[in-house]
Amino acid sequence: MSTNQLDKKSEAWSALFSEPMSELVKRYTASVFFDKRLWLADITGSLAHAEMLAAQKIIGASDLADIQRGMAQIRSEIEAGGFEWKLDLEDVHLNIEARLTQLVGDAGKRLHTGRSRNDQVATDVRLWLRDEIDLISDLLKELQVALVDVAEKNVEVILPGFTHLQVAQPVSFAHHLLAYVEMFSRDAERMVDVRRRTNRLPLGSAALAGTTYPLDRERVAKTLGMEGVCQNSLDGVSDRDFAIEFTAAASLCMVHISRFSEELILWMSQNFGFVKIADRFTTGSSIMPQKKNPDVPELARGKTGRVVGHLMGLITLMKGQPLAYNKDNQEDKEPLFDTVDTLKDTLRIFAEMVGGQLNPATGAKEGGITVNAAAMEAAANKGYATATDLADYLVKKGLPFRDAHETVAHAVKAATSHNCDLSELPLTVLQGFNASIEKDVYECLSLRGSLNARNTLGGTAPVQVKAQIARHRTRLA
Ligand code: ARG
The pairing of beta strand 228-229 with beta strand 200-201: parallel
The residue extents of the domains of the chain are 3-113, 119-211+225-366, 382-476
Domain 382-476 in CATH 1.10.40.30 = yes
pLDDT of amino acid 81: 98
- The confidence band for 10, taking pLDDT boundaries of 50, 70 and 90, is low
Residue 1 pLDDT > 50, yes or no?
no
Global pTM value: 0.95
What pLDDT digit, counting tens, does each position of 341-359 carry? 999 999 999 999 999 999 9
Q: Which CATH superfamily is domain 119-211+225-366 in?
A: Fumarase/aspartase (Central domain) (1.20.200.10)
Among 95, 330, 336, residue to substitute to test ligand 1 (most atoms within 8 Å of Cβ): 330
DSSP state of 292: -
CA atoms of 119 and 206, how far apart (whole Å):
5
Longest dimension (CA), the chain: 101
Which residues line the pocket of ligand 1, CB cutoff 6 A? Answer: 31, 35, 91, 117-118, 121, 327, 329-330
Q: Which residues are catalytic?
A: 164, 285
Average pLDDT of span 136-147: 98
Distance of CA 32 to the CA centre of its chain: 26
- What separation in Å is there between the alpha carbon of 63 and the centre of ligand 1? 25
pLDDT in tens, 21-74: 999 999 999 999 999 999 999 999 999 999 999 999 999 999 999 999 999 999
pLDDT, position 11 = 77
Dist. CA 387 → ligand 1 center (Å)? 64
Q: How far is CA 374 from CA 13, 156, 160, 368, in A?
A: 72, 12, 12, 18
32 in Cβ contact with 86 (< 8 Å): yes
How distant, in Å, are the alpha carbons of 4, 270, 314 from that of 168?
72, 21, 40
Check residue 3 and give its pLDDT. Answer: 47
Burial category of 125 from C-beta neighbours within 10 Å (exposed 0-12, middle 13-18, buried 19 and up): buried
Which run of H or E residues covers position 468?
Answer: helix 462-476
Give mean pLDDT, residues 237-258: 98
Point out the least confidently predicted range of 62-71, 76-85, 212-221, 284-293. 284-293
Percent of the chain residues topping a pLDDT of 90: 93
Q: Distance between CA 218 and CA 210 in Å, rounded? A: 14
Q: Which residue has the higher pLDDT, 302 or 365?
A: 302
pLDDT higher than 60, residue 4: no
Q: Over the stretch 410-465, which tens digit does the pLDDT of each residue have?
A: 999 999 999 999 999 999 999 999 999 999 999 999 999 999 999 999 999 999 99
Whether residue 210 has pLDDT greater than 80: yes
Residue type for position 104 = V
| pLDDT, mean of residues 262-276 | 97
Closest atom of ligand 1 relative to the 333 alpha carbon: 4
What sign does the CA torsion over 416, 419, 423, 427 have? negative
CA distance 133 to 137: 6
Query: What confidence tier does 2 reach under pLDDT thresholds 50, 70, 90?
Result: very low
Instruction: Quote the pLDDT of residue 283.
Output: 86
Q: How many helices (H) and strands (E) does the chain have?
A: 21, 8
Closest CA to ligand 1's atom 11: 327
User: The domain at 3-113 falls in which architecture?
Assistant: Orthogonal Bundle (1.10)
pLDDT above 70: residue 144:
yes
Amino acid letter for position 185: S
Separation between Cα atoms, residue 258 and residue 173, nearest integer Å? 19
Cis peptide before 278 (omega within 30 of 0): no
Please tell me the residue having the least CA distance from ligand 1 atom 2: 330
The whole-number pLDDT of residue 178 equals 98
Q: CB of 184 within 8 A of CB of 256?
A: yes
Q: Which of these, 63, 60, 41, lies nearest to 225 by C-alpha position?
A: 41
CA 158/CA 166 separation, integer angstroms: 16
Average pLDDT, integer, range 280-303: 91
Q: What is the pLDDT of residue 238?
A: 98
Question: What is the reported pLDDT for 12?
Answer: 82
Roughly how many angstroms between the first and final C-alpha of the chain, as a whole number?
Answer: 52
What residues form DSSP beta bridges with 276?
370
Q: What percent of the chain has pLDDT above 70?
A: 98
Query: Any idea what DSSP says for residue 244?
Result: H
Cβ atoms of 145 and 260 closer than 8 Å:
no
By most ligand atoms within 8 Å of CB, the mutation choice from 117, 205, 331 for ligand 1 is 117
Instruction: Tell me what the pLDDT averaged over the chain comes to.
Output: 96
